[in-house]
């Protein structure tokens, strides 16, 4: 499937200038504090704020379900810290290097260093808070924290972790109308930067599931997602005990096995919803849910919309006509490599 390019990108320097100007013209800014992005990772009218402003905070909301691409160059003097406010599916690339590819759960924190070109390919609606932090301010906070500097902590470029505090701080900005309180917005930004500055990133204590074992499990889930799979089933496929498998799988994907299975079932359900007019109860049973109510609850939790609403909206976006009901086994969607929560399936 070809990627929909949202805009044509000239050379990097001209693109950065063009994006800043485009965002500044007629861009909506909250009264004080939080900017609303019209261009990905570019706070509108950034030149209207003092150059010495330590932290600028902006929000990117994209409700489209179409596959699309965005790119941005972080300012040469700022880190960009992104916090996902909702679960989405995407691919991040820095130059030719893939940084992340798969399902990104809500609460994931991602740091991009100064002057870095980041390209993103989005497959689902998304909602991000971006903190644009002066590199000198981050260094000062690291010094103030008194944490022994390491390569990972002194330059957290490409850091990607699930972080409950970052999730909480991001949500406080968009709930209860806190975006209009400049002092509150500034304090949230300062708290997050200090939190990152204090991080002591040690080597993981759990081994990552080897790629060949992970591929075996992913292929098995794709072929049997309509069955009542258990943690023991998948651990056996990987050739590990349940305890070792669960830890290594999460270290490799950022998801617990049960959550991964739910995501795959919902991805398959989306393919059926778009390709057929099959009833929701039948879709639920086809992809492995025992009840339509459970299917609808999980679907809305992961996509933000009910199955019926999602089908209507996405078909309208893609101009897909209603499809005839098929009683045959619908084709499975292309499997996604989850890289970026199973107490048991």
285-295 residue pLDDT tens? 999 999 999 99
Using an 8 Å Cβ cutoff, are 269 and 295 in contact?
A: yes
**In a 3-state reduction of DSSP, which class is residue 215?**
helix
Distance CA 142, CA 288 (A): 48
Per-residue CA distances from 75 to 78, 87, 269 (Å): 5, 27, 40
Phi, psi for 211 (deg, rounded to 5): -60, -35
- What pLDDT band is residue 97 in, cutting at 50, 70 and 90? confident
Predicted confidence (pLDDT) per residue in 227-245, tens digit: 889 999 999 999 999 999 9
pLDDT digits (tens, 9 = 90+) for 184-200: 888 999 999 999 988 86
191-209 burial code (b ≥16 CB/10 A, e <16): ebbebbbebeeeeeeeeeb
Q: Does the predicted model carry a pTM greater than 0.75?
A: no
User: Are the C-beta atoms of residues 78 and 54 closer than 8 Å to each other?
Assistant: no
E-state strands within the chain: 4-5, 34-36, 55-62, 68-73, 78-84, 88-94, 97-104, 108-112, 117-122, 126-134, 160-162
Choose the weakest-confidence range: 4-13, 126-135, 262-271. 4-13
Domains defined for the chain, CATH in brackets = 4-197 (2.60.120.280), 211-318 (1.10.10.60)
| Per-residue pLDDT reduced to its tens digit, 14-51 | 344 334 434 433 344 444 578 888 889 988 654 455 45
* Polymer length in residues for the chain: 345
Half-sphere exposure of 329 (CA within 13 A, CB side): 8
User: Across all residues in the chain, what is the average pLDDT?
Assistant: 78
């Amino acid at each position: 499937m070809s990627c929909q390019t949202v805009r044509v990108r000239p050379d990097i320097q001209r693109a950065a200038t063009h994006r800043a100007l485009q965002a500044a013209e007629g861009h909506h800014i909250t009264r004080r504090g939080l900017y609303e992005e019209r261009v990905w990772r570019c706070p509108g009218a950034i030149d209207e704020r003092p150059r010495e402003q330590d932290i600028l905070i902006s929000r990117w909301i994209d409700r489209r379900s179409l596959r699309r691409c965005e790119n941005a160059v972080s300012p040469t003097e700022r880190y960009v810290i992104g916090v996902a406010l909702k679960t989405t599916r995407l691919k991040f690339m820095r130059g030719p290097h893939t940084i992340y590819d798969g399902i990104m759960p809500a609460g994931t924190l991602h740091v991009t260093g100064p002057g870095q070109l980041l390209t993103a390919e989005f497959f689902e609606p998304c909602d991000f808070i971006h903190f644009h932090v002066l590199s000198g301010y981050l260094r000062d906070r690291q010094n103030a924290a008194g944490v022994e500097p390491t390569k990972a902590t002194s330059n957290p470029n490409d850091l990607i972790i699930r972080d409950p505090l970052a999730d909480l701080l991001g949500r406080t900005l968009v709930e209860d109308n806190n975006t209009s309180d400049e002092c509150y917005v500034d304090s949230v930004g300062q708290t997050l930067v200090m939190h990152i500055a204090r991080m002591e990133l040690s080597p993981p204590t759990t081994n990552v599931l080897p790629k060949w074992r992970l591929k075996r499990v992913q292929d098995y889930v794709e072929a049997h997602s309509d069955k009542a799979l258990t943690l023991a089933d998948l651990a056996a496929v990987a050739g590990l005990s349940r305890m070792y498998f669960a830890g290594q799988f999460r270290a490799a994907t950022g998801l617990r096995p049960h959550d991964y299975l739910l995501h795959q079932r919902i991805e398959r359900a989306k393919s059926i919803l778009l390709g057929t007019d099959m009833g929701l109860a039948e879709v639920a049973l086809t992809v492995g849910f025992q009840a339509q109510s459970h299917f609808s609850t999980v679907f809305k939790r992961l996509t933000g919309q009910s199955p019926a609403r999602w089908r209507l909206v996405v078909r309208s976006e893609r101009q897909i006509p209603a499809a005839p009901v098929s009683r045959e086994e619908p084709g499975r969607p292309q499997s996604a490599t989850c890289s970026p929560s199973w107490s048991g399936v």
